[in-house]
A and B are shown apart, each in its own frame.
Chain A
Amino acid sequence: KAGVTQTPRYLIKTRGQQVTLSCSPISGHRSVSWYQQTPGQGLQFLFEYFSETQRNKGNFPGRFSGRQFSNSRSEMNVSTLELGDSALYLCASSLRPSTGSYNSPLHFGNGTRLTVT
């Protein structure tokens, strides 16, 4: 079974630009979560989607947005990029959403390394 696929693998953008990152979950997984990982802050939750609906959102500004399509693929968008947005952006999929008593683990992709100059 193919794992979580994230594209592109690397991206270089300049301040003020916007960027769209893509995530294809494991087949059958309907929940997709996005995380930002930096050396200083570690792993931080961005948002989670299940059945095309945003279920949860972390503490990031409105410049960070996402969506999920009917085939469970997800995209996240960052507008008006800032230098501090340079990070590894990780997507994770799971069978079940975060709410409820499910204990299905998260399966991560290898991330998109975004560098903002």
Chain B
Amino acid sequence: DAKTTQPPSMDCAEGRAANLPCNHSTISGNEYVYWYRQIHSQGPQYIIHGLKNNETNEMASLIITEDRKSSTLILPHATLRDTAVYYCIVRVPGGGSARQLTFGSGTQLTVLP
């Protein structure tokens, strides 16, 4: 699985959009970009995933650059409950081997009132 790089922390004002970047310059053609978040003392929560097109769901939008070397997760109107560690993962679905989902250090997003 390709390595990802994320800033260790970010702040965002409540009600504003939170834009979380992720670099994955070694991504290969069949690897998807997944985003999860983990609120303290809870299990990771799936947010969104995509291959090359921009994706949107009820939680967030995922913007993937044309060369696929980076992506941005957008929370359109951040709330205090969005304070969490956000993980960007790139991997081949299944990959024919152990589902060794590996979370890096992630980005600690703090939404400020």
Contact = CB atoms under 8 A, between A and B. Distances in A.
A84 interface: no
B99 A33 contact: yes
A95 to B, nearest CB: 12
Contacts, number: 71
Q: Which of B34, B43, B45, B93 has the most CB of A within 10 A?
A: B43
Interface residues of B, number: 24
Interface size class for chain A? 20 to 34
A100 B51 CA distance: 16
Interface of B is mostly: loop
Given A42-B103, A90-B44, A110-B43, A105 B98 contact: no
A59 B42 CA distance: 24
A34 to B, nearest CB: 10
Contact of B49 (A42, A57, A58, A105): A105
28 contacts: A6-B43, A35-B101, A42-B104, A45-B98, A45-B99, A45-B102, A48-B98, A48-B99, A56-B99, A58-B100, A90-B43, A90-B44, A92-B43, A92-B44, A99-B94, A100-B93, A102-B93, A103-B49, A103-B93, A104-B93, A105-B49, A106-B99, A108-B43, A108-B44, A108-B46, A109-B43, A110-B42, A111-B42
